[in-house]
Every structure is written in structure tokens, then in C-alpha cells.
Amino acid sequence: MGVDGGRETIASLRRYLEELKESGVDELPRAAVPRGGKPGSQPEAASPAAAPAPPTPVAESQMATTSGETLDDIRRDLGDCVRCQLGNQRTNLVFGVGNPRARLVFIGEAPGREEDLKGEPFVGEAGQLLTKIIQAMGFARNDVYICNVLKCRPPGNRNPHHDEIVQCAPFMLRQVKAIGPEVVVALGTFAAQTLLATKEPISALRGRFHDYHGIPLMPTFHPAFLVRYPERKREVWEDMKQVMGLLGKGAPAIKG
């Protein structure tokens, strides 16, 4: 490689690192351990700031959650859904996207305007930030699975109504069971409170694993909240480091 080529590589690496920093990532993971490698088996994982011991062994949670139905079965069952009023107001039903065998599932609240138009979750500004977080964790967006509690956009992005949750949330649970992930991340107050059936604030729920139908669930702040309050990205990254630890993605480098 010539001198110019070297300079270009360094410049693009610097741009990439700046982008990561903008997403709240100020440390990078060490090389990942292979799938099946023991989470936490590397000495770095035992740093003083390390997460409490994972609540459920990975293989067990996978066995406990595989339901026998496929995502296609569930999508077919939803059909042209009008089980609640949102069905008559949507442009597109936003089912979910990603790897049907994902080890990691992210669950948000409901589609926003851009998601409704595109039929894909988390494609707006908050979605772009989520994609950066996923990449910083060492995954591509299509390695993981992304969906929402509600499949249709509440008009004006209002909060979901109780009857809408009652109709829609069972499909999300079926998606999770069909995938059988090792970890679920609940994005924001609404998803965390709905999945964990609690009224506790997200600030109290985040930072530790909870049990969701036998699967470790990490609540964290919603990317839309991070767009408004970028200074809170550091807490999300702390949560994601715990998730990476559970997935054996290698311990994040300890800051010097």
C-alpha cells in the first residue's frame, strides 16, 4: 500500500471511530470468542464493572423458547390485521426484520412515521442510532432481529392504548419464541414495562437482566431518547456490554 492509500485508510478509520463515539461508544470490544465459547471466560470480563452473573445458561434458554412455529406462520396469522383500530390507519404493517435464528432480539414500542411508510422497524433517526449500537456490539443489523410490541403506527405517535397492546403483544411473544434468542433487549419505557408487566421506570429497570419467559432480558433507554439526550448513551453502552458478555462477544476493553 502506498503512502496515500495508508493515509486514506487512517482517515476512514478515524471517521468510523468518530461515528462510533457519536453513538456513545467510547470503547471497543476485543476479538469475539467463537459461538459456543463460554461467556465471561476471558479475564477481561471479570473487571470490577462487570455484570452480575448471567441468570440463565445460553443453551437452556434456547431450548426453553423454541416454539415450533416459524416467523412466516406468525406473519400469515396476522394477515391484513384489523384486530384493533390501528389496522385501518396504517400504511404498512411492520412485522419485524432480521435473522429468524438471531441470538439477540431488540424490541421497541411501535412503528413511527418512517417505519409505517417503509414497513420496516427502526429506519428513522432513532433506527439509525440503533443500527450503530448493533454494529458497535460486533453484529450486522441482519444478524439480529428487530421488532416492536405494536405492529402498526399509533397516529401522531401517541402512546399505545391498552386494547392495542392486548391484541398485538401476543404476536411479539410468539416471534420471540419462534426465534429462540439467547438475549432480548427491550428498548425504552413502554417495551420494558410491557414485556416485564411492571410500572417501574426504565431508569430503575435498566442495567440488569430480568427474566422474560426464561430468556434474559435487558431493558435500556430507547434510541429516540438518546437522540434527545446523547449524554445518556454511556448508560446504554454499559447495558450492551452486559449483553455482549452474555453472548460471549468478548469483553469490552477496559478504559485506561
Contact 127, 115 (CB under 8 A): yes
Distance CA 60, CA 239 (A): 22
Closest Cα to residue 108, out of 125, 87, 122, 123?
122
Q: Which is nearer to ligand URA, 51 or 107 (CB)?
A: 107
List, edge to edge, every strand of the sheet that includes 210-212. Answer: 97-98, 145-148, 104-108, 183-187, 215-220, 210-212
Q: Which is nearer to ligand URA, 87 or 248 (CB)?
A: 87
In the window 141-200, what residues touch ligand URA (CB under 6 A)? Answer: 148
Task: Indicate whether 108 belongs to the interface with ligand URA (CB under 6 A).
Answer: yes
Q: Which is nearer to ligand URA, 45 or 187 (CB)?
A: 187
Beta carbon of residue 96, minimum distance to ligand URA (angstroms, whole number): 10
Contact 165, 194 (CB under 8 A): yes
Provide φ and ψ at 193, rounded to 5°: -70, -35
Beta carbon of residue 122, minimum distance to ligand URA (angstroms, whole number): 4
Beta carbon of residue 163, minimum distance to ligand URA (angstroms, whole number): 19
Range in contact with ligand URA (rule: CB under 6 A) among 47-55, 56-64, 115-123, 166-174 = 115-123
Which CA distances in Å does 56 have to 3, 99, 111? 51, 22, 31
Task: Indicate whether 218 belongs to the interface with ligand URA (CB under 6 A).
Answer: no
One of 24, 29, 87, 121 touching ligand URA (CB under 6 A): 121
- The residues of the shown chain that bind ligand URA, judged by CB under 6 A, are 108-112, 115, 121-122, 124, 126-127, 148, 224
